[in-house]
Amino acid sequence: MNKISYKAPLYEQIEHLLYEKIRTQEYLPGQKIPSERELAEHYKISRTTTKRAVNSLVEQGLLIRKLGKGTFVISGIDQRFNISFDSSRSLTNSMSLKGIIITNKQIKFFTDIDSKFLRQKLALNENEPVYGVQRLKLHSGKPFALENSFVPGKFFPNFYQIDFNNIGLYDYIESMGHFLKAHQTYQQLETLMPVEAKLLQISTNSFVFKSCYSTADQNQDIIEYTESYVIASEGSIRYHIDLSK
């Protein structure tokens, strides 16, 4: 537990402790923070003090309260702390830089994966675990892309505990100490199976852009393989991931 001194008012000390957790990404962008009651119990102080600290961070634009849900770190907050976001870093970030707000909807986790193909893509040995998640990308509440992302379980043991509705996949990956270099392998037009087409709210004979790419970290370990399907009518949202960036 972080120690509290008495050199500054208690609420300022709590505000600073929370600020540091946001700055260092102990609390990830989009993540729900502990409630004021939980913070008060953890630091053994009054709820009035924790409320004052949280209110200050809300006023600074670092936190946001969602009625009936709790208090969350503002998405994209990492840019406030000079953490570089290259425009090729992800579809969501690429669009955000152009003023297009993209939200995620987690559909499901892929569990018990036994795929020689995915292990090859992630440069894993036989029997090494592969974890995965399926997410929809939405613009103005309407789905335009579907992403199936897979990671090596050995690097991300808490993967299945993460809420990818609110936490970006790359924000999570970087919080685990892996800094990104990505390479798009190919893009083509194709149709989808009925289940995926239904998620995107398109007919099974509609075309989508399929992009497949792997991501390496600073140690050249492959840490992600993603298959992304963007509705062809949303062709203006095509993006490129450059290995040299």
Q: Tens digit of pLDDT for each residue in 96-142?
A: 544 567 789 999 999 999 999 999 999 999 999 999 999 999 987 88
CA distance 113 to 104: 23
Q: Is the dihedral of CA 60, 63, 66, 67 positive or negative?
A: negative
**What type of residue is 243?**
L
Determine what percent of the chain is predicted with pLDDT higher than 90: 44
**Closest by CA position to 231, among listed 146, 165, 149:** 146
Mean pLDDT of the chain: 81
CA distance 155 to 176: 8
Which CATH entry fits the domain spanning 10-79: 2.30.30.90, 3.50.90.10, 1.10.10.10, 2.40.340.10? 1.10.10.10
CA distance 230 to 8: 52
Residues 27-86 pLDDT 10s: 988 899 999 999 999 999 999 999 999 998 888 778 899 988 999 988 654 444 433 333
**CATH, domain range 84-237:** 3.40.1410.10
**Cβ distance 204 to 197 under 8 Å?**
yes
Residue ranges of the chain that CATH labels 1.10.10.10? 10-79
Residue ranges of the chain that CATH labels 3.40.1410.10? 84-237
